[in-house]
Chains A and B, each alone.
Chain A
């Protein structure tokens, strides 16, 4: 992952799952990001903790708006993916601590 893609993941840290109250990066919901400077295109692969997750719409909207405001003039695509399914192993150490894991 190059520096710009690392920057994108960092920018997405203020986006939180409103039910779990943990950001989507530490929850491991973001599977990857690609940055295409000449094509002015950003693609983010995002999953949810559950396919029925009613918070999905707002999480996507928040992520999209965050990147669009940081990269004016870029086309931002948030792609919702279900494979591989999200699991507890994707939580970062910080995410686990915030959820109360000992």
Chain B
């Protein structure tokens, strides 16, 4: 018999803690938004926003991606994960490092605490990257999805190393370029190099699989890979050298790559066998609609339109928020319903067929709660964007309350899935 993907799945003990930590971190962030809405209405280099951003990108999104990837690498590459021990150590270091880093940012102290946090995070990422590269190396599936994933983890390593360099530069300045410009470089390496590429690599395998779309041409993904991996380094160097034309050229290349990927997804959607989308796929679809917002804002900011000059700072915060909270968070929340129920379901029911009542993976969570969660999220995100653009703290606070309610429902569903027990026949 051919080897099947579920035989390669890692222990849920490796995967599930990432989801729980991530979901709780997102909950904490919404509370911080309610009590500190001013974080979103000042210059983006402020203590609260830096702390919130790092909680979001490391504690919430990266954490969930790590966990999901340990489960999905065997599906994509059709081999076992290289090491579960490395994954567990990486989780602990990332969890501690993220908490310490956020505390250091919140106190706006760039000393020893921040350096220790940075080292924890760099080691955690180093172990994660080693695990992914070893796993990829043992696979003979030389597909574009694998290339994207390998490239994305290398960009993650670059991002955290750049972050640690910035942290050291804050206490012991040695770089000649303005810190705010270096922050843009660090942020885009992470947002595009790590998140966007990882999302493309994983989703271009999983979304067609979930929709059962066959014979979708992957040539567009090849173009997307080269466009992003040529455009992004040009952008990074241009940001460092303060070379505006290079930044604009880089943006055009990266956006062309993202558009090619979206075109691939649209082709998959049109060829889908499963016509009805479940709630997880609907929220994922919503996230791709949200992606239009940062693409539009990016060119608005790059064009330096005169009458928008006084809005540059709020629009910059709106740009970052629409990528991290709008696009990526929405996608992660949606895909949680496509991955976590399956992980737990497989653990609970494999080997027990016939002995217990077999539910569907979607029966492990409440769909009603998930629907309300998606609506609260969409409205909350809308309020957040308007609040940021209008520099109105009340609107940001309202958005925080709506997002908190949404994330509370999301956490309830996570808890329901994780604590699921089988019913005997």
A-side residues, CB < 8 A to B, are 16, 18-21, 48-58, 60-62, 65-66, 69, 78-80, 82, 87-88, 91, 99-101
Contacts and interface: CB of A to CB of B under 8 A. Distances in A.
Interface residues of B, number: 30
B353 A58 contact: yes
Nearest to B361: A18
B214 interface: yes
Contacts of B7: 57
B38 to A, nearest CB: 45
Given A91-B273, A99-B275, A82 B214 contact: no
B288 to A, nearest CB: 21
5 contacts: A53-B4, A57-B6, A57-B350, A69-B354, A100-B275
Given A18-B360, A19-B361, A21-B360, A52 B354 contact: no
Given A20-B274, A100-B274, A52 B76 contact: yes
A21 B363 CA distance: 12
B346 interface: yes
Contacts of A56: 4-6
Contact of A100 (B76, B210, B276, B360): B276
B379 interface: no
A57 B353 CA distance: 11
B212 interface: yes
A50 B212 contact: yes
A21 B350 CA distance: 18
Nearest to A96: B273
Given A62-B358, A80-B1, A51 B78 contact: yes
A53 B209 CA distance: 8
B349 interface: yes
A60 B353 CA distance: 10
A74 B1 CA distance: 19
B421 to A, nearest CB: 17
A58 B275 contact: no
Given A57-B350, A58-B349, A52 B275 contact: no
Contacts of A19: 210, 274, 361
Nearest to A16: B360
B307 to A, nearest CB: 48
A79 B209 contact: no
B376 to A, nearest CB: 27
A48 B350 CA distance: 17
Given A20-B274, A79-B1, A101-B275, A52 B78 contact: yes
A54 B6 contact: yes
B2 A82 contact: yes
B9 interface: yes
B342 interface: yes
Contacts of B210: 19
A61 B353 contact: yes
Given A88-B273, A99-B275, A54 B353 contact: no
Given A80-B1, A88-B214, A99-B274, A58 B6 contact: yes
B353 A65 contact: yes
Contacts of A60: 4
A49 B351 contact: no
Interface in B300-351: 342, 345-346, 349-351
A93 to B, nearest CB: 14
A99 B349 CA distance: 25
B351 A61 contact: yes
